[in-house]
Amino acid sequence: MQFINSLRELNVKLLAEIAKLKKENAEILKLKEKLLKFAKVETENTRLKQIIEKNARHDSENVKLKSRVSKLEVRFALLEQGSIVDGMVLSFGQIQNNKEAMPVMMILIVDIFNSIIDQLNNEVEQVPSDLDGNNEKMVNFLDKAYKKSISNKIRKRRQEKK
């Protein structure tokens, strides 16, 4: 009888241990689920951080390109105006405003060849994804061509005066 009682006591202890282990196992499963959710959230956070960085790069690139486009639009307007008003001279001469004189400044607006205007049109309409430096070359070329045409016009007028 004593043997049966000791087996019953052992059985009760084992059942208690099994219940304790089941409870721990349930906690472990809950922790695994939380860990999986956390891993998913971390993965999503990493993906979102990459998207934010990419957007920031695109935003800064857009600001640069918008600035560049506005400068090109201004240059285009000046070039277009120059081709319409062939050879017109705008001057801001000495203006007497009650004892004050403003400095003299001359701006020549000269005829620009249609090919240069076409090149400028192409530059403005160009897709901004091509950022390998070709656009900068175009701007430098147009700048030099514009300055050269002004220099030629000045030389020609000086020769005509002689």
* pLDDT for res 53: 92
Strand partners, 107: 90
137 vs 128: CA distance, rounded Å: 14
Please state the domain count of the chain: 1
Residue 112 near residue 146, CB atoms below 8 Å = yes
> Which pTM value belongs to this model?
0.36
Query: What is the number of helices (H) and of strands (E) in the chain?
Result: 3, 4
Rounded mean pLDDT of the chain? 76
- Lowest mean pLDDT: which of 24-28, 76-80, 109-113, 153-157? 109-113
Q: Which domain holds residue 11?
A: 2-161
Which residue type does 81 have?
Answer: Q
User: What confidence tens digit (pLDDT) does each residue in 71-107 have?
Assistant: 888 888 787 776 554 444 444 444 444 444 444 444 4
User: What confidence tens digit (pLDDT) does each residue in 29-64 have?
Assistant: 999 999 999 999 999 999 999 999 999 999 989 999
